[in-house]
Structure 1
């Protein structure tokens, strides 16, 4: 369903069309950019010598809003244990600690962070601006075998499944996922193929998680009044990991 980014990374745009954007490992790409919000994704991955691209996953996101910087990351993990919390959160450079029980929360004047499971699953909310659900998931041995990822015991490539909901996007919104929210957006991917791929690596590439130097950047900072107040209530996507909802980033 629309508004998603999953696994290797598969995106489902606001127009309901599924596409892949592989990017490059160890690089950052703009997922959403508007005058009041900017979201970059940091990609990790493995080179497949038999293919012309990397296998990639979104390891972290950097979110700029108002005058704040939010980062949500999956910590590097060797052997996966779902009872071990591998999610990392920083707000304006400060590490945020959440007790490991469902419902634990941290709140500032603008931001609310809440655990929706004892470990590895949170919701981050800014009223009238966005809601992000983030879940840390691994690449399993079975997934690696099926897709020939080549995952070894030293790193399970823990990454994020993400679900976005936006409350105030303008029609200038852009980014790999953001562009699909435009009212006049026409999909650029080739339909009818097994893996429709969105290009534009150079257009969306950013210097780091909080950089606004990509060619499509729109972020202007603290004002929230420039948006069109569109309530982006989109159909849902179910991820393999169990995460589901609107505006998702997860696995194929």
Structure 2
């Protein structure tokens, strides 16, 4: 066989190979597996889903639609830098200031302050901030929940810090582990580590998860996080069972009877001001300018019953439809 014929044959074989359809790489396996755990939806009950790419580690299954949804896009969410989704479904940011405390909900029988941690951003003239802990007051009780400082993140290690009436809570490990300090108060692990649900009957429910700032997050947002501190913080979801029309606070005001959003719409990152208005002297202080707390349980028929509302919002959190 001549050299020219051999070369021609090789070229034909290469062309034929390139013309063959190539196998597609498998689609990426996103974050954790989640299931619907409500037996009220038998067609969806315990069907496994994977969290979508937009929230690979923070999603739940909407049992009614049998689809995974990002927890941080639901009304009543406080996540990230801190990104709030109000009761009206409008998303806004409240940056506050690092190492300071701010009132996020204040009503007659519920007061919640948040402690912010963060890093200074010299290029923006403000701090990057995240919610590190909550101080919760109701009746004559108080609950503390916080994220312990950590350098290198390992999700198998529990970084939750909990206390009830100044007594440290030793919550057993494992999903479903429950601690009940008093009638109507329940704290339950929603995952094996780093995630709990705090429930006070007829008052509120808080879902809290400790999460780190990852190297990828830091690179994308230019946080400048180093190996010394991954700025572990709380991603939060709130549900309120009985609020008055006078409720206030960074998040609480969005549930008020006469609330009109002060957020400027149509911008990429709508920011709410009012650091002085919502600032408080300590994590369990009720001295913010908008405080409403007096430690008594509401009983008025005019109270707003948000527990019976079913709300859904778009992926960007800017729209919401609520049905009673």
Q: Same fold (TM over 0.5)?
A: yes
For the 8 Å contact 1:2–1:234, the answer to whether it is kept is no
Using the TM superposition, name which of 106-115 and 91-100 deviates more: 106-115
Residues 14-64 of structure 1, C-alpha deviation per residue, up to 9 Å, x if partnerless? Answer: 111111000000000000000010000000000011111100000000000
Tell me what 2:165 maps to: 92
Question: What TM-score does the superposition give when structure 1 sets the normalisation length?
Answer: 0.91
Question: Higher RCO, 1 or 2 (CA under 8 Å, sep at least 6)?
Answer: 1
Distance in 2 between residues matched to 1:235 and 1:141, nearest whole Å: 34
Q: Tell me how large the CA RMSD over aligned residues is.
A: 1.6
Displacement of 1:176 in angstroms is 0.3
Using the TM superposition, name which of 85-94 and 100-109 deviates more: 100-109
Tell me what 1:80 maps to: 153
| 1:220 corresponds to 2:294 | yes
Which of 116, 136, 154 aligns to 1:43? It is 116
| 1:156 corresponds to 2:230 | yes
| 1:145 corresponds to 2:145 | no
Which of 101, 119, 134 aligns to 1:28? It is 101
Q: 1:89 to 1:236 in 2, by over 3 A?
A: farther
Tell me what 1:187 maps to: 261
Residues 95-139 of structure 1, C-alpha deviation per residue, up to 9 Å, x if partnerless? Answer: 001111111111022311111111001011111111111100000
Distance in 2 between residues matched to 1:204 and 1:36, nearest whole Å: 18
Unmatched 5+ residue regions in structure 1?
A: 240-252
Instruction: Give the number of the structure whose alpha-carbon radius of gyration is greater.
Output: 2
Distance in 2 between residues matched to 1:50 and 1:190, nearest whole Å: 23
Tell me what 1:245 maps to: none
Tell me what 1:235 maps to: 311
Tell me what 2:273 maps to: 199
Richer in helix (by share): 2
Aligned length, in residue pairs: 239
Distance in 2 between residues matched to 1:10 and 1:137, nearest whole Å: 14
Distance in 2 between residues matched to 1:86 and 1:71, nearest whole Å: 14
Residues 67-118 of structure 1, C-alpha deviation per residue, up to 9 Å, x if partnerless? Answer: 0010100000100000000001100000001111111111022311111111
Which runs of 4 or more aligned residues in structure 1 lie more than 2 Å from their structure 2 counterparts after TM superposition?
Answer: 222-227, 231-239
